[in-house]
Amino acid sequence: MKKSFIFLHPPVTLRKLSEELNKAKGNVSEYPLVPMGLFSMASRLEEEGFETKIVNVSLLKLLNPEKKVEELIEGLDATIFGVDLHWFTHSYGAIELAKLLKFLKNDSKVVIGGYTSSFFYEEIMKKFKFIDGIALGLAEESIVKYAKYVHKEINVNEVPSFAIREGDKTIVNYGKYESENKINEYNFVRVEKMDNWREYLKCGPAGYDSSRKPSFWVLLGRGCMRNCGYCGGGIEGFKAARMGNLLHLREAEKISEDIDILSSKYGVKLINFSHDPEAFGEKYYKKLFENIRGKKQDIVAYWDSFGIPKKEFVDEALKTFSNIIVGISLESTLDEVRFKVGRKYTIEEFIKARDYLNDKRIGIDIYWTIGLPGETEESALKIISKSSDLMRLYKNAVVIPPFPYTLDPNAPMALNPEQYGIKKLYKNFEDYYKATSSLKWIDWVAHETKNMSKKKIAEVTEKIYRAINEIYEAGLFRENVEHRYRLDHEL
Ligand code: SF4
């Protein structure tokens, strides 16, 4: 039996993209970005003698809107297929893709893994019998052991952190988190392991764009030292998804080597940091930036700031990169709403920071989240005028029109809803599975607050989304939009 393992990144749904666009008349989301662990897992399997590659079905769908998913994956052959179910966004797509794979390749094993499947593994194993196993937590080591077990090199009890179907039984080995302490040993930049990697480099969260600068994600660490109420990637969410208990940081040398390889071997011009480098302190970011400067690559860097970036940090970043793009999550016009979810900074602080952030070498993406506890319809709608005010002050900033916020199943707000004063409407995996099969925004809203019902959250999100898009369509803030475009597009 040939030792082969294919990873597949699922689309959001299995419908043809052309049909979806037609049905939804806009607002269709397809998320081609893959969890960074797919590259390190593929690399580990290869080291252990397995033939392996990554097939990004979401990207293939974007590149071939008229084709059915069956057509996109026909011809693939492997003893094991691994589908990521990391972000809840893929709850429906990952399960349906796994089902299709099992139907087409009945002799192959089909396993899944990632935050969401790890969190809901019991329910998924019970309800979806075509799934042969679920990796629990970080899986660079356990996936190799699972593959060896399938090839009868080891027995089932030797596969740690895995739920495995054997006939009618599910065997669950909790094991220890073997991958946790090895973050500096893994290779996260085996870009060519993905079919269509050149096109992948042209993908952002919103999809594929051939004129985008080639970009790739760079891993600074795993886990987070914060615990933002709405995020499944913070301290509590990480633990709840069985990913481990600690934040692990990569060495500065490894990160600068990655950037060097990405730039010189793959032509990457824009790197996206997994974390805000400032959050790890001055000593850390100075060492990191110094190492990166030593490689002398001309590169643009993006990250989502954990707060309002400080001047010393921004100065250091501008010495290192040709341009920087920073995502700033303002979430609400009300400071108390932002504070409640763990974001302890104010809009006033952001406005004051324009002395050094309002700089042509910087691009700023402003994010809002609708439906957080304490928000009202009235306060949420103020986002529209506040967006214009901020773009007037910051000619280098754009506001990202908000999509509906879906309660992350393992976020603190979902784990302790009473503490946040919200009502959780989606309680199990099946709720997320059904929600993510829908093209209606309202179905993606998984909670309600004391002030806003599910319907209201969906309506207000849509109203703000449309209003901000209309501002851009009317030609306002053209300078801001063009500036931002220049930073991450080839001219
Ligand atoms: S939103 Fe960012 S800073 Fe907050 S917990 Fe999640 S990853 Fe950490």
CATH code for the domain of 112: 3.40.50.2300
- Which of 157, 180, 203 is the C-terminal boundary of a domain? 180
Task: State if residue 224 touches ligand 1 by the CB under 6 angstroms criterion.
Answer: yes
Mean pLDDT on 34-51:
98
CA distance linking residue 414 with residue 236, whole number of Å: 11
Same domain (yes/no): 369, 298? yes
Bridge-based pairing of strands 133-135 and 162-166 is antiparallel
Task: State if residue 293 touches ligand 1 by the CB under 6 angstroms criterion.
Answer: no
Per residue in 388-442, pLDDT tens? 999 999 999 999 999 999 999 999 999 999 999 999 999 999 999 999 999 899 9
Same domain (yes/no): 253, 355? yes
Mean pLDDT on 67-76:
95
CA distance linking residue 163 with residue 468, whole number of Å: 45
Distance in Å, CA 247 to ligand 1 centroid: 12
Same domain (yes/no): 283, 399? yes
Please name the residue whose Cα sits nearest to atom 4 of ligand 1: 228
Mean pLDDT on 469-489:
97
- Which of 180, 202, 234 is the C-terminal boundary of a domain? 180
Same domain (yes/no): 228, 156? no
Residue 21 has pLDDT above 90, yes or no: no
Task: State if residue 237 touches ligand 1 by the CB under 6 angstroms criterion.
Answer: no
Distance in Å, CA 226 to ligand 1 centroid: 6
For helices 311-320 and 282-294, give the axis angle rounded to 10 degrees. Answer: 10
Task: State if residue 67 touches ligand 1 by the CB under 6 angstroms criterion.
Answer: no
Distance in Å, CA 328 to ligand 1 centroid: 12
Mean pLDDT on 184-198:
98
Task: State if residue 5 touches ligand 1 by the CB under 6 angstroms criterion.
Answer: no
Same domain (yes/no): 460, 394? yes
For residue 195, being part of any structural domain is answered with: no
Per residue in 351-360, pLDDT tens? 999 999 999 9
**pTM, full prediction:** 0.96
Residue 189 has pLDDT above 90, yes or no: yes
Q: Which atom of ligand 1 is nearest to the CA of 230?
A: 1
Please name the residue whose Cα sits nearest to atom 2 of ligand 1: 306
For residue 358, being part of any structural domain is answered with: yes
What is the pLDDT, as a whole number, of residue 99? 98
For residue 473, being part of any structural domain is answered with: yes
Q: How confident is the model at residue 27 (pLDDT cuts 50, 70, 90)?
A: low
Per residue in 313-345, pLDDT tens? 999 999 999 999 999 999 999 999 999 999 999
Inter-residue contact 120 to 86 (CB < 8 Å): no
Distance in Å, CA 377 to ligand 1 centroid: 25
Same domain (yes/no): 168, 243? no
How far is residue 30 CA from its own chain's centroid? 12
Beta-carbon contacts of residue 259 (< 8 Å; ≥ 6 apart): 218, 271, 292, 295, 297, 299
Q: Which atom of ligand 1 is nearest to the CA of 279?
A: 3
Task: State if residue 233 touches ligand 1 by the CB under 6 angstroms criterion.
Answer: yes
Same domain (yes/no): 272, 363? yes
What is the pLDDT, as a whole number, of residue 179? 72
Distance in Å, CA 232 to ligand 1 centroid: 8
Q: Choose one of 115, 220, 227, 231 to mutate for the ligand 1 pocket test, by most ligand atoms within 8 angstroms of C-beta.
A: 231
Same domain (yes/no): 263, 129? no
* Count of domains forming the chain: 2
Distance in Å, CA 69 to ligand 1 centroid: 33
Q: Which atom of ligand 1 is nearest to the CA of 237?
A: 5
- On the CB side of 66, CA atoms within 13 Å amount to 0
Task: State if residue 234 touches ligand 1 by the CB under 6 angstroms criterion.
Answer: yes
Distance in Å, CA 480 to ligand 1 centroid: 27
Same domain (yes/no): 161, 252? no
- Which of 132, 162, 180 is the C-terminal boundary of a domain? 180
Same domain (yes/no): 355, 277? yes
- Could you count the other beta carbons within 10 Å of the beta carbon of residue 210? 9
Q: Which atom of ligand 1 is nearest to the CA of 224?
A: 8
Q: Which atom of ligand 1 is nearest to the CA of 234?
A: 5
For residue 304, being part of any structural domain is answered with: yes
Same domain (yes/no): 50, 95? yes
Residue 239 has pLDDT above 90, yes or no: yes
Tell me the CATH number at 292. Answer: 3.80.30.20
For residue 198, being part of any structural domain is answered with: no
Distance in Å, CA 326 to ligand 1 centroid: 15
Task: State if residue 228 touches ligand 1 by the CB under 6 angstroms criterion.
Answer: yes
For residue 199, being part of any structural domain is answered with: no
Full residue range of the structural domain in which residue 247 is found: 211-488
Q: Which atom of ligand 1 is nearest to the CA of 329?
A: 1
Task: State if residue 231 touches ligand 1 by the CB under 6 angstroms criterion.
Answer: yes
For residue 192, being part of any structural domain is answered with: no
Q: Which atom of ligand 1 is nearest to the CA of 306?
A: 3
Q: Choose one of 225, 228, 249, 330 to mutate for the ligand 1 pocket test, by most ligand atoms within 8 angstroms of C-beta.
A: 228
Same domain (yes/no): 220, 114? no
Share the mean pLDDT of the chain: 96
Task: State if residue 235 touches ligand 1 by the CB under 6 angstroms criterion.
Answer: no
Q: How confident is the model at residue 177 (pLDDT cuts 50, 70, 90)?
A: low
Q: How confident is the model at residue 43 (pLDDT cuts 50, 70, 90)?
A: very high
